[in-house]
Chain A
Amino acid sequence: QQQVKQSPQSLIVQKGGISIINCAYENTAFDYFPWYQQFPGKGPALLIAIRPDVSEKKEGRFTISFNKSAKQFSLHIMDSQPGDSATYFCAASSYNTDKLIFGTGTRLQVFP
């Protein structure tokens, strides 16, 4: 019940296209859902995050869509660029455990 399931494992997108990465969870106590971006040779860095009181959050080309009833959330990257090529991790945490549970990661490659 503590797992966060992430898909796909890898994704290839052409420049200008939309990249979509999906995550699902079981624990209804989760109340914070961040996405981390990791470039080769670097540690993950917080990209964008959402709380379940809203269904969507947008920051530039990055959007999180959240479906509380389905217990799913997704990251959309609009107008994908080669510089977006990285591994993306979804995660979830709950106020009563102080733990951040990560998904398995999605390796995104954006080709010109």
Chain B
Amino acid sequence: ETGVTQTPRHLVMGMTNKKSLKCEQHLGHNAMYWYKQSAKKPLELMFVYNFKEQTENNSVPSRFSPECPNSSHLFLHLHTLQPEDSALYLCASSQDRATIEKLFFGSGTQLSVL
């Protein structure tokens, strides 16, 4: 167990649905991240939270909405997604933003948008 837990593991949703991805880290870290992993593409950084404050929004469409209520929990709220949003969504954490080089990843949520 990496110490970063993501739920659900799999999610199928229609384009009009609203759903949320959850991430919880048990490592005492202060920085949390959302990455998108698509086949044959580099991991794409979506959002960064450092000490509960959003420090990075990597030009992500507004249909993705992050929430970080505390340093241990991170959510990604999804609404009116497109089929091209189907991917593996990975949550990660690090001690803080300065230690992004040592990321601890969860197992991801495999999202399919129909």
Q: Which A residues contact B (CB, under 8 angstroms)?
A: 3-4, 9, 32, 34, 36, 41-46, 49, 89, 93, 98-105
Contact = CB atoms under 8 A, between A and B. Distances in A.
Given A102-B43, A104-B41, A42 B107 contact: yes
B85 to A, nearest CB: 19
B4 A49 contact: no
A103 B100 contact: no
A44 B43 contact: yes
A3 B43 CA distance: 11
B100 A99 contact: yes
A11 B6 CA distance: 30
Given A32-B101, A93-B100, A45 B42 contact: no
Q: Which 5 A-B residue pairs are closest in the complex by CB-CB distance?
A: A43-B105, A102-B43, A102-B42, A32-B101, A44-B105
Contacts of A3: 42
Interface string B95-112: 001101111111110000
21 contacts: A4-B42, A34-B101, A41-B107, A42-B107, A43-B105, A43-B106, A43-B108, A44-B90, A45-B2, A45-B104, A46-B104, A49-B101, A89-B42, A89-B43, A98-B98, A100-B101, A102-B43, A104-B40, A104-B41, A104-B42, A105-B42
Contacts of B4: 43
A46 B106 CA distance: 12
A99 B48 CA distance: 10
Contacts of B45: 99-100
A43 B107 contact: yes
B101 A9 contact: no
For chain B, the bracket of interface size reads 20 to 34
Contacts of B43: 44, 89, 102
A9 B97 CA distance: 30
Given A42-B108, A46-B103, 6 more contacts: A32-B101, A43-B106, A44-B43, A45-B2, A100-B45, A100-B100
